[in-house]
Amino acid sequence: MQMTMRWFGTGHDSVTLEQIRQIPGVTGIITTLFDKLPGELWKKDEVLALKKTVEDAGLSIAGIESVNISDAIKTGSAERDQHIEHYIRSLEVLGEAGIHLVCYNFMPVFDWTRTELARKRSDGSTTLAYNQMMIDKIDPNDMSSVISEQSNGYVLAGWEPERLAKLKELFAMYKDIDEEKLFANLKYFLEAIMPVCEKYDINMAIHPDDPAWSVFGLTRIMTGKDSLLKLMKLADKPFNGVTLCTGSLGTNPQNDIPDIIKSLGSRIHFAHLRNVRHNRPGDFEESAHLSSDGSLDMYAIVKALYDSGFDGPIRPDHGRAIWGEAAIPGYGLYDRAIGSAYLLGLWEAIKKASPRT
């Protein structure tokens, strides 16, 4: 297991690599070429420059989050094959640079969705939150401004203005895309990229949909145990795997995360470990990582991961905004550092109580 931190790149992140280097136990960086649009080609010199920046700070790239999937690939439109060709060539570049993990998602139109990016909690911290009643009142055309107005001036991953400027076009593209078609397009994509993953030993790790249900009438397919197991069979290779994001799967209280971990086993290539607090049906917020602060049993989750033989990178995913830090919502330094220390503590205790033989 390697503890990692997401970093959006020079000029895109309020947190520096030098700061991350000082968090005890964090050795890896999860990063991306932030300016790349989905479908665009990743070039070798760009990847090598990113790698050098991270390594010069005494850290290493543990994986890419994300190489984004274009809407053409998700909907199977005319540009699909060209975008897949770009994706394959980008994976070659990453493989040649010694990078072996790629996180991606297959959510239509909107990426992760929240109604509030700075909900005030009783301790004075602020956090990302979701309220279904608020979503039901929002016109999806206003959703980009709902997010950008609360983003502290940062462009948020998954909410790139270039793409969302064409929202009407995007909704039209997905008009006839039901669950079956989305699964079929995912299968088409996975089958096309598996040979290059095999050649370069690249683990693909799909991120579950967040929240784990359909939003604004758009189909979402990566929502729980059944759909994740179905994904495994779409391309039955070890390289076709999952990012176990407890915060995303945990949005649905019906998801039994330790059981999901047990079912997926060695197909979990990457883990996002954070807690979520369910206040009432349809309302949740991102709590501190500790089990006692949220609705998930983080000990049971870390234990299930350990028992499954998990050996990949973990990141504390999001954190609250605390101590007056100004940062990308969810991606401040302080609370993620506290979260990673807690997760490392759980891991050490579990490991020492039952060493792997």
Site for Mn ion, rule CB under 5 A? 245, 272, 317
Q: Which is nearer to Mn ion, 220 or 272 (CB)?
A: 272
Q: Which is nearer to Mn ion, 30 or 73 (CB)?
A: 30
Question: Which of the residues are catalytic?
Answer: 207, 245, 272, 317-318, 331
User: Could you give the C-alpha distances from 61 to 49, 54, 56, 312, 331, in angstroms and in order?
Assistant: 12, 7, 11, 13, 18
Minimum Å gap between C-beta 317 and Mn ion is 5
Minimum Å gap between C-beta 63 and Mn ion is 13
CA 6, 23, 99, 52 dihedral sign is positive
Q: Which is nearer to Mn ion, 39 or 208 (CB)?
A: 208
Report the C-alpha gap between 36 and 8 in whole angstroms. Answer: 12
222 touches 208 (CB < 8 A): yes
Q: Which is nearer to Mn ion, 196 or 245 (CB)?
A: 245
277 touches 294 (CB < 8 A): yes
Minimum Å gap between C-beta 112 and Mn ion is 7
Minimum Å gap between C-beta 307 and Mn ion is 22
Cβ-based burial of 43 (10 A; exposed 0-12, middle 13-18, buried ≥19): middle
Q: Which is nearer to Mn ion, 111 or 317 (CB)?
A: 317
193 touches 84 (CB < 8 A): yes
Report the C-alpha gap between 159 and 111 in whole angstroms. Answer: 7
Token pair of 123 as six digits: 């301790």
Report the C-alpha gap between 325 and 188 in whole angstroms. Answer: 43
Minimum Å gap between C-beta 346 and Mn ion is 18
Q: Which of 315, 340, 348, 15 lies closest to 154, judged by CA?
A: 15
Q: Which is nearer to Mn ion, 193 or 222 (CB)?
A: 222
Using alpha carbons only, what angle is made at residue 156 by residues 130 and 192, rounded to the nearest 5 degrees? 100
Minimum Å gap between C-beta 248 and Mn ion is 5
Q: What share of the chain is helix, strand, coil (3-state, %, to 5)?
A: 40, 15, 40
